[in-house]
Amino acid sequence: MSSCQGCGHELVEIGLTIDGSRIVMRSCSTCDTRSWHRDGDPVHLDGVLTDLSAVPTRYRRSLSS
């Protein structure tokens, strides 16, 4: 498990499959920092994130229950 670069809090990892690629979102519940990794490599999904903005929200909601 990784730690947040901003606050050191433990990160939550959420795996998604997007366009056949394995995407992992690491999210900090303390400061809401997110990072994305595709097949183990960091990725910047600036444009994609706009389209996917509903996905992490839905997963985060389910995780917090």
The end-to-end CA distance of the chain, in Å, is 21
Euclidean distance between CA atoms 61 and 34, whole angstroms: 15
With binding defined as CB under 5 A, does residue 6 bind Zn ion?
A: yes
3-state DSSP assignment of residue 30 = coil
With binding defined as CB under 5 A, does residue 31 bind Zn ion?
A: yes
With binding defined as CB under 5 A, does residue 7 bind Zn ion?
A: yes
Instruction: Kindly tell me which of 33 and 35 has the beta carbon lying closer to Zn ion.
Output: 33
Instruction: Kindly tell me which of 21 and 57 has the beta carbon lying closer to Zn ion.
Output: 57
Euclidean distance between CA atoms 9 and 31, whole angstroms: 9
One of 4, 12, 14, 23 touching Zn ion (CB under 5 A)? 4
